[in-house]
């Protein structure tokens, strides 16, 4: 049975099926509800959500069909009653680039030079969250397929036509989604086709009649792995066990950084879930806001958002705190993490470093609270990976391995497709070279140096 799509403006579709547990906490319904309830997403925030519902049409017999047609109950007349949900992909209509972490500012500038609107643009992502993960909610028993993806993309194209979007951007998608979405050979419009549009010589040839290729960009993030290669990829027993896999000079540097924190009279504590009090949340948010304030910016997320997470998904929250010699909280770092028991494959359970803030400058405290406390927690909890956030080569020399990221881009104006396609192709080569160079700079000793695979 072929798949179809519908465009939905709210999340009422949740109640119409049993949904699979998402691969990260950032695609959980609780996380998205907190974003919505606190105004982090929505029209006022510049993140207007539209949900592409992929469904199968339920078959009904003639009597049932007649009953629906003749019923005075408007709910029964709703065609959605015949839809069997399969998957849902979120799409945001945006007029800015904030909170995305895959930058296309140069593309917007190119449009502006030609006097063409780059906004609105469509984005599929976990808002404000540069974490690789699934971008579909799947019904129990379903698996991501080319048919689901192509049906969803047809829905994206529909939205783009309705709002006049310049393109669609799928950010930090999984390798599987990137592979399926780009499986068809990208057909770049010919010079003659583009020239016909520019000169207006062929009124019957418009943007919609041309093939719109799916373009891929690749990036690099740094991921810590709880694998002692000397011991046959066994998890580390403690932080010192991890340090012993590094070169002697790097071990010495990390130990010196941790000593510097202690010598400033700073003590660090870790709290999880319901043990995090309202006072802890207020202290954390004060630190979080201060980090933005020093750059003259306002934070994307409110205290109400974090309090909502505390109420709806405490089992995924871990807070690292730093106290000065007077017992006052001077810095906080909030992490989310997978609960291994809730995963089909506990070997993929990950700690995600997300939100940090400090009330002042303290030597090496950022490294301690955002990286070393996270590594210790991941080892204690038996988590396999630790994703500390986007960017930052300083992560590399602390044992975080360069890892490929993927984003998808669909540009609707054929005049810009060749240049952007060329940019993406060259960018992939640059990033492959960067990942290799970063890999060569890893601090591990020879017995624990992971293999480099340019295609991984």
Looking at the 3D structure of the chain, how many domains does it have?
2
> What is the per-residue pLDDT across 28-44, written as a single tens digit (0 to 9) for each?
999 999 999 999 999 99
Instruction: Looking at the structure, tell me whether residues 49 and 115 fall in a common domain.
Output: yes
End-to-end Cα distance, the chain? 35
Spatial distance between the Cα atoms of 48 and 338, rounded to a whole number of angstroms: 28
- Per-residue confidence at 332, pLDDT binned at 50, 70, 90? very high
Instruction: Looking at the structure, tell me whether residues 175 and 253 fall in a common domain.
Output: no
pLDDT value of residue 69:
38
**214 within a domain of the structure (yes/no):** no
Which residue, of 146, 181, 216, is where some domain finishes? 181
- Per-residue confidence at 200, pLDDT binned at 50, 70, 90? low
**444 within a domain of the structure (yes/no):** no
pLDDT value of residue 212:
81
The domain in which residue 273 lies consists of 227-383
**422 within a domain of the structure (yes/no):** no
- Per-residue confidence at 281, pLDDT binned at 50, 70, 90? very high
Confidence check: pLDDT of 135 > 50:
yes
pLDDT value of residue 283:
98
Instruction: Looking at the structure, tell me whether residues 160 and 249 fall in a common domain.
Output: no
Confidence check: pLDDT of 197 > 90:
no
Spatial distance between the Cα atoms of 148 and 136, rounded to a whole number of angstroms: 9
Instruction: Looking at the structure, tell me whether residues 102 and 164 fall in a common domain.
Output: yes
Spatial distance between the Cα atoms of 249 and 241, rounded to a whole number of angstroms: 16
Spatial distance between the Cα atoms of 121 and 166, rounded to a whole number of angstroms: 5
pLDDT value of residue 263:
97
Instruction: Looking at the structure, tell me whether residues 54 and 159 fall in a common domain.
Output: yes
Half-sphere exposure of 96 (CA within 13 A, CB side): 10
Angle CA(161)–CA(165)–CA(167) in degrees, nearest 5?
A: 110
pLDDT value of residue 389:
87
Instruction: Looking at the structure, tell me whether residues 25 and 164 fall in a common domain.
Output: yes
Spatial distance between the Cα atoms of 366 and 331, rounded to a whole number of angstroms: 9
pLDDT value of residue 221:
94
> What is the per-residue pLDDT across 226-271, written as a single tens digit (0 to 9) for each?
999 988 899 999 999 999 999 999 999 999 999 999 999 999 999 9
Instruction: Looking at the structure, tell me whether residues 244 and 369 fall in a common domain.
Output: yes
**243 within a domain of the structure (yes/no):** yes
pLDDT value of residue 162:
96
Helix (H), strand (E), coil (C) string for 128-180: CCCCCCCCCEEECCCCCCHHHHHHHHHHHHHHHHHHCCCEEEEEEECHHHHHH
- Reference 356, options 368, 345, 343, 369; nearest CA is 369
**72 within a domain of the structure (yes/no):** yes
**21 within a domain of the structure (yes/no):** yes
**Structure pTM?**
0.90
Instruction: Looking at the structure, tell me whether residues 100 and 236 fall in a common domain.
Output: no
Lowest mean pLDDT among 150-154, 164-168, 290-294, 371-375: 290-294
pLDDT value of residue 392:
78
pLDDT value of residue 344:
47
**440 within a domain of the structure (yes/no):** no
Phi and psi dihedrals of 358, rounded to 5? -140, 155
Q: What is the mean pLDDT of residues 115-128?
A: 97
Instruction: Looking at the structure, tell me whether residues 165 and 231 fall in a common domain.
Output: no
Confidence check: pLDDT of 201 > 50:
no
pLDDT value of residue 226:
96
Which residue, of 337, 367, 383, is where some domain finishes? 383
244-258 burial: b if 16+ Cβ within 10 Å, else e:
ebbeeebbebbeebb
Which residue, of 336, 360, 383, is where some domain finishes? 383
- The CATH number of residue 329's host domain is 3.40.630.30
- The CATH number of residue 98's host domain is 3.40.630
């Amino acid at each position: 049975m072929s798949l179809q799509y519908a465009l939905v403006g709210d999340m009422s579709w949740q109640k119409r099926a049993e949904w699979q547990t998402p691969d990260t906490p950032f695609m959980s319904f609780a996380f998205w509800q907190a974003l919505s309830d606190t105004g982090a997403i929505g029209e006022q925030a510049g993140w207007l959500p539209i949900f592409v519902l992929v469904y199968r049409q339920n078959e009904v017999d003639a009597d049932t069909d007649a009953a629906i047609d003749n019923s005075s109950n408007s709910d029964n007349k709703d065609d959605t009653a015949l839809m069997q949900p399969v998957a849902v992909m979120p799409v945001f209509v945006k007029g800015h680039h904030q909170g995305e972490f895959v930058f296309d500012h140069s593309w917007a500038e190119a449009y502006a030079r030609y006097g063409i609107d780059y906004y609105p643009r469509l984005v599929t992502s976990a808002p404000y969250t540069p974490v690789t993960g699934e971008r579909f909610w799947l019904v129990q028993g379903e698996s991501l397929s080319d048919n689901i993806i192509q049906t969803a993309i047809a829905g994206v194209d529909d939205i783009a036509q309705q709002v006049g979007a310049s393109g669609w951007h799928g950010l930090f998608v999984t390798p599987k989604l990137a592979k399926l979405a780009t499986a068809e050979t990208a057909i770049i419009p010919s010079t003659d086709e583009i020239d016909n549009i520019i000169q207006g010589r062929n009124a019957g040839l418009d943007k919609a009649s041309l093939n719109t290729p799916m373009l891929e960009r690749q990036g690099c993030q740094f991921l810590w792995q709880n694998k002692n290669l000397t011991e046959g990829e066994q998890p580390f027993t403690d932080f010192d066990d991890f340090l012993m896999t590094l070169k002697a000079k790097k071990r010495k540097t990390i130990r010196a950084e941790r000593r510097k924190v202690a010598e400033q009279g700073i003590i660090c504590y870790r709290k999880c879930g319901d043990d995090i009090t309202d006072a802890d949340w207020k202290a954390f948010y004060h630190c979080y806001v201060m980090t933005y304030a020093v750059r003259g910016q306002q934070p994307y997320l409110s205290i109400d958002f974090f309090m909502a997470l505390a109420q709806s998904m405490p089992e995924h929250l871990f807070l690292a705190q730093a106290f000065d010699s007077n017992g006052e909280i001077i810095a906080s770092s909030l992490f989310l993490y997978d609960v291994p028991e809730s995963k089909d494959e506990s070997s993929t359970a990950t700690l995600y470093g997300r939100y940090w803030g400090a009330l002042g400058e303290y030597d090496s405290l950022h490294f301690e609270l955002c990286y070393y406390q996270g590594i210790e927690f991941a080892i204690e909890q038996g988590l396999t990976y630790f994703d500390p956030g986007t960017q930052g080569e300083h992560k590399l020399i602390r044992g975080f391995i360069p890892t490929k990221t993927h984003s998808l881009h669909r540009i609707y104006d054929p005049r810009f497709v060749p240049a952007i396609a060329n940019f993406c192709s060259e960018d992939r080569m640059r990033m492959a070279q960067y990942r290799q160079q970063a890999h060569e700079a890893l601090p591990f000793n020879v017995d624990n140096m992971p293999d480099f695979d340019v295609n991984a």
